[in-house]
C-alpha cells in the first residue's frame, strides 16, 4: 500500500492593494467614534438650525413651515441691516488696529534689550484674562463721573468723554478694548514668524548700506506677510463673533448703535423667543463668516505663493 503525502502550497503574500484594504478596514474602526461625536456636536446642530430657519416658531407656540419667509424678512428688517453694518464696522476696526500695533510690538520684542522676557510676559497678560472680566473692569473705567479714564483726561486739561454712552463713540470705544486685549495675540504670531526669518538677506542689505526702514519694507514685511495673514484670519473671525465684551459693556446700546449680528440674534432668540427668525439669522451669520474667512485665506495663499 503506497502512502500519498499531501503537499500544502505556501500562502501567497498579500498584494499591496489587499494590504491597503486591510489597513482601511481596521482604520475605520478608529474613526467611527470620532465621526459619531462630530455628527452629534456639529452636523446635527447645523441641520437642525437649517430646519428651524424655515419654520415660524416661538417658544410655547406651534411650529409652522414658512419656507424662505424668514430670509426675505431680513431684507426689510432695518434693525438686521444696521446690525450687519455695525458688525462690519466693528470688525474692520478691530482687525486693523490690533494688527498694526501687533506687528510694531513684534518688531520691538524681536530686538534684544534688558528684561525683554519680563516685558513680553507683561505685554501678553491682557490676552490671558477672560473677556467678561476684562469687560467689567473697562465698564468701571468708562463711567462718566467715577471712571478713571475721564479723571485722567481732565487732569491733563482735556474734556471728559462719553465713551460707550454716546452712539458716535461707542463702537470705537469697544474697539479700543478689543485692541488692548488681542494685540498680544497678533504680536505672538508675527514674533514667531520673525524668529524664523533667514539672516542672509539682512547681511546682504547691510553690505549694500540699506537702512533699518528699508530692510523692514523690502525684506521683513514680505517675508513675514504669510504670518500676518494668519493673524488677520484669526482676528477677523474672532471679531465677527464678538459677543461677551459688547454685551457686558454696552449691551448693544445706546439704543441699538452697537448692536452686532451676534447680539441681535441673541435678542431675537432669548428676549423675543422668535426661534425661527433667529435660526435664519444664524445661517446668514455663518455664511458671512465663511465668506470673510475664504477671502482672507485666498489672500494668504497668494501671499504664500508670492
The count of structural domains within the chain is: 2
Task: Using pLDDT thresholds of 50, 70 and 90, give the confidence band for residue 1.
Answer: very low
Within 241-274, residue ranges assigned H as helices are 244-249, 261-270
Does 63 map to a domain? no
Specify whether 42 is located in the same domain as 93: no
CA-only gyration radius of the chain, Å = 28
Does 9 map to a domain? no
Specify whether 203 is located in the same domain as 261: yes
Q: Check pLDDT > 90 for residue 40.
A: no
Task: Using pLDDT thresholds of 50, 70 and 90, give the confidence band for residue 2.
Answer: very low
Q: What is the dihedral of CA 251, 252, 257, 258, to 10 degrees?
A: 110
Specify whether 215 is located in the same domain as 262: yes
Specify whether 195 is located in the same domain as 266: yes
Specify whether 131 is located in the same domain as 248: yes
Contacts of 12 (CB under 8 A, 6+ apart): none
Specify whether 46 is located in the same domain as 175: no
Does 32 map to a domain? yes
3-state DSSP percent of the chain in helix, strand and coil, to 5: 70, 0, 25
Does 69 map to a domain? no
Specify whether 185 is located in the same domain as 216: yes
For the record, the C-alpha cell of 117 comes out as 522676557
User: Which residues form the domain of 116?
Assistant: 76-305
- Taking residues 190-205, report their average pLDDT: 88
Does 211 map to a domain? yes
Task: Using pLDDT thresholds of 50, 70 and 90, give the confidence band for residue 17.
Answer: low
Specify whether 103 is located in the same domain as 24: no
Does 6 map to a domain? no
Specify whether 132 is located in the same domain as 194: yes
Specify whether 187 is located in the same domain as 44: no
Specify whether 49 is located in the same domain as 88: no
- Taking residues 178-183, report their average pLDDT: 94
Q: State the pTM of this model.
A: 0.86
Among 12-26, 32-46, 100-114, 151-165, which is the least confidently predicted range? 12-26
Specify whether 251 is located in the same domain as 157: yes
Does 5 map to a domain? no
Rounded Cα distance between 34 and 111, Å, is 45
Q: Check pLDDT > 60 for residue 129.
A: yes
Does 60 map to a domain? no
CB 273 within 8 A of CB 50: no
Amino acid at each position: 500500500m503506497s502512502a500519498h503525502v499531501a503537499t500544502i502550497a505556501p500562502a501567497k503574500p498579500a498584494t499591496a492593494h489587499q494590504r491597503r484594504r486591510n489597513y482601511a478596514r481596521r482604520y475605520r474602526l478608529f474613526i467611527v467614534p470620532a465621526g459619531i461625536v462630530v455628527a452629534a456636536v456639529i452636523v446635527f446642530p447645523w441641520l437642525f438650525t437649517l430646519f428651524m430657519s424655515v419654520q415660524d416658531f416661538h417658544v410655547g407656540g406651534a411650529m409652522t413651515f414658512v419656507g424662505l419667509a424668514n430670509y426675505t424678512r431680513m431684507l426689510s428688517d432695518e434693525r438686521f441691516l444696521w446690525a450687519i453694518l455695525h458688525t462690519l464696522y466693528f470688525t474692520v476696526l478691530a482687525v486693523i488696529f490690533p494688527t498694526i500695533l501687533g506687528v510694531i510690538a513684534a518688531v520691538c520684542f524681536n530686538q534684544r534689550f534688558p528684561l525683554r522676557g519680563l516685558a513680553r510676559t507683561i505685554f501678553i497678560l491682557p490676552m490671558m484674562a477672560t473677556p467678561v472680566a476684562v469687560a467689567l473692569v473697562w465698564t468701571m473705567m468708562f463711567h462718566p463721573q467715577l471712571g478713571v479714564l475721564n479723571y485722567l483726561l481732565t487732569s491733563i486739561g482735556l474734556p471728559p468723554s462719553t465713551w460707550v454712552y454716546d452712539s458716535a463713540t461707542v463702537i470705537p470705544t469697544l474697539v479700543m478694548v478689543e485692541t488692548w486685549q488681542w494685540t498680544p495675540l497678533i504680536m505672538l504670531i508675527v514674533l514667531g514668524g520673525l524668529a524664523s526669518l533667514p539672516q542672509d538677506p539682512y547681511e546682504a542689505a547691510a553690505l549694500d548700506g540699506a537702512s533699518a526702514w528699508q530692510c523692514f519694507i523690502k525684506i521683513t514685511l514680505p517675508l513675514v506677510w504669510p504670518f500676518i495673514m494668519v493673524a488677520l484670519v484669526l482676528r477677523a473671525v474672532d471679531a465677527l463673533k464678538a459677543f461677551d465684551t459688547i454685551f457686558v459693556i454696552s449691551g448693544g446700546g445706546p439704543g441699538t448703535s452697537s448692536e452686532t449680528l451676534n447680539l441681535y440674534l441673541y435678542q431675537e432668540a432669548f428676549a423675543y423667543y422668535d426661534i425661527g427668525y433667529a435660526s435664519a439669522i444664524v445661517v446668514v451669520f455663518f455664511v458671512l463668516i465663511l465668506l470673510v474667512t475664504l477671502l482672507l485665506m485666498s489672500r494668504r495663499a497668494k501671499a504664500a505663493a508670492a
